[in-house]
Structure 1
Amino acid sequence: MAPATTLTPQELAIMKVVWRLGTATVREVHDVLRRERRDDLAYTTVLTMMRILEQKGMLGKDADADSRAHRYRPLRTQRQMMRVLVREFVDRVFDGAADSLVAHLVADRKLSASDRAEIRKLLDKED
Structure 2
Amino acid sequence: LCEGAVANSFVTVVEVNSGVASMARHASTQPTDVELQILRVLWDDGPSTARHVHEALQGAKQTTYSTTVKMLSVMLDKGLVRRDEEASPHRYRAAVTRESAGKRLVKELVEKVYDGAAMSLVLQALKGAKASPEELAEARQLLDELEGK
How much has 1:21 moved relative to structure 2? 1.9
Distance 2:27 2:142 in 1: 31
Cα distance per residue 1:73-95 (max 9 Å; x no partner): 21111111111111111111111
Matched, 1:45 2:67: yes
Cα distance per residue 1:17-41 (max 9 Å; x no partner): 011122111101011111x42x422
- Asked if 2 retains the 8 angstrom alpha-carbon contact of 1:25 and 1:70, the reply is yes
Distance 2:128 2:81 in 1: 37
Q: What is the count of residue pairs matched by the alignment?
A: 121
Unaligned segments of structure 1, at least 5 residues: none
Aligned to 1:27: 51
Kindly, what percent of the aligned residue pairs are identical? 36
Matched, 1:98 2:118: yes
TM-score by length of 1: 0.80
Q: How does 1:52-63 map to 2 (within 5 A)?
A: 52-63=74-85
Distance 1:81 1:71 in 2: 21
Rg comparison, structure with higher value: 2
Higher helix share: 1
Aligned to 1:51, what secondary structure does the other structure show?
Answer: helix
How much has 1:50 moved relative to structure 2? 0.9
Aligned to 1:112: 131
How much has 1:111 moved relative to structure 2? 4.5
RMSD: 2.2
